Amino acid sequence: MATETIDAYRGASRAIAEQIAPTWARRRGDIEQVMAPVRTWMIRELRPQPGQTGLELAAGVGDTGFEVAGLIGERGRLICSDFSEAMLGAARRRGSELGTSNVEYRAIDGERIDLDSDSVDAVLCRLGYMLMADPAAALAETRRVLRAGGRLTLAVWGAPERNPFFTAAAMALVQRGHMEPPQPGGPGIFAMASEQRTRALLAGAGFDDVRIEDVAVRFAIPDAEEYVQVVADTAGPLAVTLQALPDAERAAVTAQCAAALERCATPSGYEIPGIALCAVAR
């Protein structure tokens, strides 16, 4: 992307995060239930140790990092970060609810990490790198702040055809003229869906010992109206587009989504499968 396009994307991403932070926080329990297999995988492969310093990038409400905070203990420190002040505020409130005392909250842009080189032992980033304008720069910054032998674990969404939770709404919005089709090679939900690309980005940033696995998730949704509402509360650009629709058009989008999700229908609603690519590297 040209520099002005990248800058516009960054500004729009920040605005979207600020807008959906309140609904993301309200949906925290639902999100964490879906993402539990990913969270478990990331923490297991990160192998946090007592006394270490950890960094969570694009933390959102911060639940993955808070588990790490518990494992590194009072002698350790977790830096919980997000580039959105609203998201960081939600994380701070969640940390207060949990009674965490070894967490520092910082506004950090993953592409320009304001930390010293070789200053952290572990980095985790759940569903963040894929949305950054320059994931190569972000991963290079991650490698810079990691100490020798430090580990990174990350998660990104896998191939579109394996993630109908997102594609059903996205296709309806594009086909009805509310969104532009995604640009090939640009940032977005599926920007790192290729294992080959994710592996190449990690290698280009100086990481080795890379291992990538598919981790399955499942969205249990009672009906099409609730599906659209969940997307409108949590799914970035899809969310803000849905939030702006008039009622009649939202109903039309909902009907189109219901048709797209028919193959996921069960007697109790929808069981929508999903696949995340999870990676660990040093």
Residue 186 — left, alpha, or beta (φ > 0 → left; ψ -120 to 50 → alpha)?
beta
- Domain that residue 80 falls in: 3-159+185-217+275-281
Quick check: is 234 in a domain?
no
Quick check: is 48 in a domain?
yes
Number of domains in the chain: 1
Say what the pTM is: 0.96
Quick check: is 268 in a domain?
no
User: What does pLDDT average to over the chain?
Assistant: 96
Quick check: is 99 in a domain?
yes
Query: How many angstroms separate the CA atoms of 27 and 253, rounded?
Result: 22
Instruction: Write out pLDDT tens, residues 75-108.
Output: 999 999 999 999 999 999 999 999 999 999 999 9
Quick check: is 177 in a domain?
no
Please name the helix (run of DSSP H) or strand (run of DSSP E) that holds residue 46, with its range, or none: helix 28-46
- Say if residues 146 and 120 touch (Cβ distance below 8 Å): yes
Residue 170 pLDDT more than 70? Answer: yes
Residue 248 pLDDT more than 60? Answer: yes
Instruction: Write out pLDDT tens, residues 108-153.
Output: 999 999 999 999 999 999 999 999 999 999 999 999 999 999 999 9
- Say if residues 55 and 123 touch (Cβ distance below 8 Å): yes
Quick check: is 208 in a domain?
yes
- The C-alpha angle 48, 49, 50, rounded to 5 degrees, equals 130
C-alpha atoms less than 13 angstroms from C-alpha of 208 in its C-beta half-sphere: 2
CATH number at residue 105: 3.40.50.150
Tell me the angle at which helices 224-234 and 164-175 cross, rounded to the nearest 10 degrees: 90
Quote the pLDDT of residue 183: 81
Quick check: is 178 in a domain?
no
